[in-house]
Structure 1
Amino acid sequence: MSSQSLSPQCPLCQHSATTLFFKDPKRHYWQCAVCALVFVAKAEQLSHEEEKAFYGFHENDPNDQGYRRFLDRMALPMQQRVAKGAKGLDFGSGPGPTLSVMLQERGYQMKIFDPYFANQPEVLTESYDFITSTEVFEHLSAPHLIIEQLLSLLKPEGYLGVMTKRLVAPAHFSGWHYKNDPTHISFYADQSFQWMADHYGLQLELIDQDVVVLQKRAQ
């Protein structure tokens, strides 16, 4: 049986035109011909319990200046686009929320949500001027559902900022450290974000190699 006949559906655009991109002893990586997403199929993903246990080893300290500088790559583009006093959501805030603290210190009204560490469903019923999601999208098993949920929370002309390392060329994938984290299951090319922009009617800005900003159009 060919790899094509076994190919899983793309979790971003939902097309079935996926082919084997790379495999190692632990996992198979598939690529979608439509949106260029590279992903790990459901059968080879960690369970929710395994994933949560792995996240527990992450140490994010809001007082760590190096970590703050790292997060400024998301904070500064938001500050350049959104006026002080605006209401924001940090989605996937992790075990040590830091970006939300930084933006609150700079005059923004911030809420946080994380399915493991800040599971407050009520914040997902409100509307926001901007939403940030740093080092989250690579963990998503059903990115189309999360994107649609976040866009439903954004006000017209609101901004969605995403930080995730973008896909490297096939020749470099085997040595790419980012794929080795067992919780990393979705890898986005520039084309993947362009597909999102086209499909959902968004304005796309590729800020650098791991930050993108998507703006919702006015209604």
Structure 2
Amino acid sequence: MKKCKICSSFATAITDTKTKKIYHKCSRCSYIFLDEAFYVDEAKEKKHYDKHHNTFESLGYVKMFEDLIEEFVTPYIDSVERALDFGCGEGEVLPILLERSRIECDRYDIFYFPQKVYESKEYDLVLSTEVFEHLTNPLEVLKELLLHIREGGYILLMSAFHPDNDDEFFKWWYIRDITHIGFFNIATFEYLAGELNLEIIKHNFKNIILFKKREV
């Protein structure tokens, strides 16, 4: 049995009978992660991302982020001046939309904007959309990001919440992406909030959750 990458409890192995892929499911925090034997290499991962073409020409992609800003950022905009888009991708759509809302936004992406511009900075808001499902070490990355958020600041994560039922999980479209290796749901995020001194402000029951960093 392998230890959960979020809470370190022992996770139960579950196997997709169609793909033969093995996943590990934690009964304590509900995190599910793909066995490392099925990871793709970095070159194949980058090639997969290069196919996305998520730019301002993709109207549905732009609308998704416009809606995200309206629901999860605008209500708190008076206290948000500086933001970081962690894992912004090639198109910079979200940072540009935030800048149009008069929020200064830094970019970081392991492939397209690899300079860690955030290392010496502190932010009012960190956003990470469609990133955490790709991470081999999500807890460590989240802890690192929290070091760069001021007390009372926010972190917003977008990653589809997995179904609890194993049969539904194996039918779930989200696991078909070869670069998706870790899967969260509300129970996972509630666990993380309790461990990392975060308050869950709101979520959409589907794929977006907003946390506030509690003041010490």
Q: With the length of structure 1 as denominator, give the TM-score of the two structures.
A: 0.91
> Match for 1:28: what amino acid?
I
- What is the CA–CA distance in structure 1 between the aligned matches of 2:148 and 2:187, rounded to whole Å? 24
Could you say which residue in structure 2 is the equivalent of 1:3? none
Could you say which residue in structure 2 is the equivalent of 1:4? none
- What is the CA–CA distance in structure 2 between the aligned matches of 1:199 and 1:123, rounded to whole Å? 23
Alpha-carbon distance change, 151 to 85 in structure 1, aligned in 2, over 3 angstroms: closer
- What is the CA–CA distance in structure 2 between the aligned matches of 1:9 and 1:162, rounded to whole Å? 23
| 5+ residue gaps, structure 2 | none
State yes or no: 1:61 paired with 2:55: yes
After TM superposition, the runs of 4+ consecutive aligned structure 1 residues lying more than 3 A away are none
Q: Give a deviation string over 1:114-170, Cα, whole Å, max 9, x none.
A: 011101123232100000011111111110111001101100011000111101131
> Match for 1:184: what amino acid?
H
> Match for 2:207: what amino acid?
D
Q: With the length of structure 2 as denominator, give the TM-score of the two structures.
A: 0.92
- What is the CA–CA distance in structure 2 between the aligned matches of 1:100 and 1:26, rounded to whole Å? 39
Could you say which residue in structure 2 is the equivalent of 1:81? 76
What value does the CA root-mean-square deviation take over the aligned residues? 1.6
Could you say which residue in structure 1 is the equivalent of 2:97? 102
Contact 1:159–1:214 (Cα < 8 Å) also in 2: yes
State yes or no: 1:42 paired with 2:39: no
- What is the CA–CA distance in structure 2 between the aligned matches of 1:158 and 1:88, rounded to whole Å? 10
SS in 1 for 2:40: coil
SS in 2 for 1:172: helix
- What is the CA–CA distance in structure 2 between the aligned matches of 1:53 and 1:47, rounded to whole Å? 10
> Match for 1:88: what amino acid?
A
> Match for 2:48: what amino acid?
F
Name which of structure 1's ranges 65-74 and 88-97 shifts more when overlaid on structure 2: 65-74
| 5+ residue gaps, structure 1 | 1-6
- Correspondence for 2:192 among 192, 196, 202: 196
Alpha-carbon distance change, 23 to 206 in structure 1, aligned in 2, over 3 angstroms: farther
State yes or no: 1:186 paired with 2:212: no
Give 1:1-150 correspondences, 5 Å limit.
7-15=1-9, 17-24=10-17, 25-76=19-70, 77-83=72-78, 86-150=81-145
> Match for 1:158: what amino acid?
G
- What is the CA–CA distance in structure 2 between the aligned matches of 1:212 and 1:184, rounded to whole Å? 18
SS in 2 for 1:212: strand
Contact 2:83–2:104 (Cα < 8 Å) also in 1: yes
- What is the CA–CA distance in structure 2 between the aligned matches of 1:169 and 1:14, rounded to whole Å? 19
SS in 1 for 2:114: coil
SS in 1 for 2:53: coil
State yes or no: 1:168 paired with 2:168: no
